[in-house]
Amino acid sequence: MPADDFCTDIANKLNTGILIIDSQYNIVLWNRYLEVHANKKPENVIGQNIFEIFPELPEKWFKRKIESVFQLKTQSFCSWEQRHHLFELPHTRPMTTDSHFMAQNCSFLPLEIKDNNEHVCILIEDVTDVCHYQSKLKKTLEELAQANRIDGLTQVFNRKHWEECLEKEFSRARRYKHGLALIMFDLDHFKLLNDTYGHLGGDIVLIETAKVISKLLRLGDLFGRYGGEEFAIILPNTDMVGALDVAERIRVAISKNIINFQETEIKVTASVGVAVITEADTRYEDLISHTDLALYDAKASGRNIVCVAKDVTAA
Ligand SMILES: Nc1nc2c(ncn2[C@@H]2O[C@H](COP(=O)(O)OP(=O)(O)OP(=O)(O)O)[C@@H](O)[C@H]2O)c(=O)[nH]1
């Protein structure tokens, strides 16, 4: 068997699309894989221009790619991550994907054959499964990262992530001399509420309260669950006047919120502490501790009240 026949036989048996084009972009070889996947017989394709057979090809980009292969005589590559596919070939994997077409890795190989005409061989590899599983993995990792930041019960930021946000906002506020306010609030007599309605009732109160407060806040505000029934909100670029306004709205919203639980209506109040960043604060923990003290004052003053950190009121 002559070598050419061996090559043709191999090309037809490979599970890869193989097509060769000349310098005019006319197709000179079309293997069995393409015959099956593009549903076009070689006699209807050979001698035709590649842009007629695949009108979806991005002509300008494709020509630039092929020209560089001709000129530099080096291989080139296009992965599915750059372009999901170049050739609209339906995928045949037994899986549901976002695209009808197979994800492809395409290689462009320079060929020099005896008559000295320049040709480029294009290999088309079906990587639909790689693309599919990579996309799934990416989505799962994003979901995991999100779950790591969120409190499972209330769906606001958990303490760890919230503190990371505060650390960033704190150093940004110090660097650019921006305002930064902190609000911490704690539901009043929550132990009694748990004792009266059970832990499930307490949980519903936490969930509903977080929902009500989330709706009150601006997009840039960072709302987290600091501990059991204590929540905290970072207000970037906010001074004491603005923070007090938000704090009072939070207090009122919680006191007016009626939570339905097992045919009873639960009402709850919150004590609120507010502080803003000062020159003296060198660590984000300083701001937390000032806000926490203000919250303690609110509890000591009889609850359902907003209190401001002492050093700020004095200033
Ligand atoms: N249902 C429920 N209860 C929680 C959760 N986390 C903490 N708690 C409860 O919240 C209660 C907090 O009680 P305390 O710290 O004494 O505070 P309090 O009763 O709210 O009293 P004041 O804060 O002084 O008004 C405790 O009984 C905790 O068990 C939670 O995720 N779900």
Q: Which domains does the chain have, with CATH numbers?
A: 3-134 (3.30.450.20), 150-314 (3.30.70.270)
DSSP 96: -
Neighbours of 31 (CB within 10 A): 21
Q: Is the pLDDT of residue 121 over 90?
A: yes
Token pair of 283 as six digits: 């660590």
Q: Of 301, 289, 300, which is closest to residue 311 (Cα–Cα)? A: 289
Q: CA separation (Å) from 165 to 179, 221, 234?
A: 15, 10, 8
Q: Is the pLDDT of residue 21 over 60?
A: yes
Q: How much distance in Å is there from the Cα of 189 to the middle of ligand 1?
A: 7
Where are any strands of DSSP class E within 31-179? 76-78, 104-112, 118-126
Please give the average per-residue pLDDT across 118-128, as a whole number: 94
Output the average pLDDT for the chain: 93
**pLDDT band at 311, cuts 50/70/90?**
low
Say what the pLDDT of residue 1 is. 58
Q: How much distance in Å is there from the Cα of 264 to the middle of ligand 1?
A: 20
Q: Is the pLDDT of residue 94 over 70?
A: no
**pLDDT band at 91, cuts 50/70/90?**
confident
Which residue is closest in CA terms to ligand 1's atom 32? Answer: 203
Say what the pLDDT of residue 98 is. 72
Which residue is closest in CA terms to ligand 1's atom 1? Answer: 202
Which among 229, 254, 292, 304 is the best mutation to test ligand 1's pocket, defined by most ligand atoms within 8 Å of the CB?
229
Kindly compute the dihedral angle of the four CA atoms of residues 280, 282, 287, 292, in this order, to the nearest 10 degrees. -90
Token pair of 180 as six digits: 């930064």
Query: Side chain identity at 170, as an amino acid letter?
Result: F
Which among 194, 204, 205, 271 is the best mutation to test ligand 1's pocket, defined by most ligand atoms within 8 Å of the CB?
194
Which of ligand 1's atoms lies nearest the C-alpha of 190? 20
Q: How much distance in Å is there from the Cα of 276 to the middle of ligand 1?
A: 26
- Residue list, ligand 1 pocket, CB within 6 Å: 153, 186-192, 194, 199, 202-203, 206, 228-229, 299, 303
pTM of the predicted protein model = 0.72
Which segment of 32-46, 114-128, 130-144, 185-199 scores lowest on mean pLDDT?
114-128
Which segment of 2-16, 53-67, 298-312 scores lowest on mean pLDDT?
2-16
Q: Is the pLDDT of residue 206 over 80?
A: yes
